[in-house]
Amino acid sequence: MKDTNEVERYLNQLPEKEKKVLSKLREQILAISPNMEERLSRGVPFFYHLGKRCVGFRFSKNHLSFFIMEGKVLKNLNH
């Protein structure tokens, strides 16, 4: 992984309830693919597999978002 500190800093600035949910999601993403690279892109945490943006998440005032970026990457992740 490149620099997890920027993602950790992102999570640490969130309200506690949202931080807990998105931290758990982050753990699950990294458990599925421990070699996934995580970094911020435009202030949003994204996870990359072989250089391609795979998934990401974001906190907003009224909701949390989960983004699927490259469906082919997810399909081939465990192959």
Domain boundaries, the chain: 5-76
- The class (CATH top level) of 5-76 is alpha beta
Amino acid symbol at 24: K
* Per-residue model confidence as pLDDT tens digits over 8-59: 999 999 999 999 999 999 999 999 888 889 999 999 999 998 888 889 999 9
Question: Burial letters for 62-76: b for 16+ Cβ neighbours within 10 Å, e otherwise?
Answer: eeeeeeeebeebeee
Q: How high is the pLDDT of residue 24?
A: 97
pLDDT of 68 higher than 60: yes
Main-chain dihedrals φ then ψ at residue 47, nearest 5 degrees = -120, 130
The Cα–Cα gap between 23 and 74 comes to 20
pLDDT of 75 higher than 80: no
Q: How high is the pLDDT of residue 64?
A: 96
